[in-house]
Structure 1
Amino acid sequence: MLPNVQRTLTVIFLLIVRIRCQITSADSKFIGYYIAPNSVEPLYAGNAWVTSGSYAGDCNSSGRCPIATKCAKNLLHYDDDTVWTCGAGASCVEATIYATSPAGLPSAVNYACRMYWKAYTIYRELPATAEPMTTSFDTVTTALPDPTSTDPTSTDPTSTEAGVKTIFISVPAVTATSNTTATSSTNVATASTAASPQAPSLGQDKSWIAGVVIGPVFVIALVAAAVWVWRRRRAGQKGTAVELDGQSNNHWKAYPDYQQYHEKDSDGQVVELPSSRPPAELDTNGYR
């Protein structure tokens, strides 16, 4: 009884793992990680990467996903009965893709025509101690037209495009230098280096924000101070004008009543005061 239960559980576990291996997101281009001697690099396909049974491969540009199941004498045999010859400079390469590192099952095999290939062992998941390299990578690209014939001789062995399966792989910068030289003559693989832009400094952001805020505040404070000084001066001028008009007589209160004199108001014309003495002329010696 117990062996039967264990056997059943084992079968169920293998089925679950197999289904997980087969079901792959159609829009995922991620192949896995290649653990190089001095780095860990993620690998991506040119189109969607799919797994079917024990084989894996990428779809073509038209959306079809034929997967190579055999590689012999630089000929790729696909599951849709098509056969393609690797182009000039490329060779048929087999790579094994494991679920986890190291060599965690299930695994899948990928056959493709490649140049300067080093990632013969790939892992879909990394151990906790390994981390992918986040610096810039050099990408080697090869292209494959859609298969249309099952005749191996229908393709030109010297062609730079026929029979080269699409694959993207990140390789170290030292290898990319030699790859670039070979690519210029075959036009099959191209190497490019992209440096990641530096993120703007947080300190620069703060200084920029401080400049934007302090500038308007300083201008507003300067205008407010100017308005305050102008109003003070205007108020002082009004007070002086009021005192000159006689509306403020507080300064007269410091003098006695007999010293507070002023000219009598008169609405009439200026006339000579009456006198009982007759008018007389003055001479040089005084009155006569």
Structure 2
Amino acid sequence: MNDFVKVVEVGARDGLQNEKSVIEFAQRLTFLNLLVDSGFQSIEVGSCVSPRWVPQMDKSAELYAALAKPEQISLSLLTPNLKGLEAAIAVGCKEVAVFTAASEAFTQKNINCSIQQSFDRFQPMFELAKQHEIKIRGYVSCVVDCPYEGAVAAQKVASVAKQLLDLGCYEISLGETIGTASPIRVRKMLEQCIEVVPIEQLAGHFHDTYGMAIANIQESLNLGLRVFDSSIAGLGGCPYAKGASGNVATEDVVYLLEQSGFNTDIDVAAMLKAGAYITSVLQRENQSNFVKAYGAK
């Protein structure tokens, strides 16, 4: 068994962009530097998207430029289009992320195009990224259920993941977007994906709307998955379930992994400091069960 599991911290992007509050640039920078100090190998810094649509992500490229960048840490920006990628290139970013979905309805609602059209849009981005030696990570939303279509076929998820791999993604994150999945359904989805994408190039991204994220991560671990996205303090709501939690809390994921004998290289005390800082800024409670039980020291 490979005893190392990579935790991709997405709180500064996927978490903050779904928070109602728009926090200051300096606060985002402080938060990100605290995450860097926590030992995460991979951190999403922000999203190069129009502030008119996502004001929480304004000046993400500038934020990347201002960050300390230890050599062993991969810092990435989400780039939804060619303009976003160009902004990332301008600040020297060496890893970006693109996103699509396994649901046609969700893709239309989220990025105003079909799944195939999203791949057509990606083509020039991958060509430009290759010229600049930039790695691309792919996100697939709605890998189990869609808020508009209901259940999503596992074969469809596998097909979209394989297309991202063939296009040039080094890793594909499978997003359980609305948090309705159970372990058995996650297993069936992953089994299909593993048939066409090496498991070493897959990651799990689970939401905790129905309290199933940790169980789904455990099932994924049983199948051999060794990369998981999570959000410090459970930042980010679920936009499809009013009042429900969204991203699984990093603190809970790290607790599960370390209690199960896996290594994450994460400094727990530093991680708790980062969570305490951002929840203080946002004036909200930390959603982590681990933190609620033991308290952030």
TM-score class, shorter-chain normalisation, is: under 0.3
Instruction: Determine which structure has the larger helix proportion and give its number.
Output: 2
Work out which structure has the larger RCO, using CA pairs closer than 8 Å and 6 or more positions apart in sequence: 2
TM-score normalised by L of structure 2: 0.23
Larger radius of gyration: 1
TM-score (normalised: structure 1): 0.23
Structure with the higher strand share, 1 or 2: 1
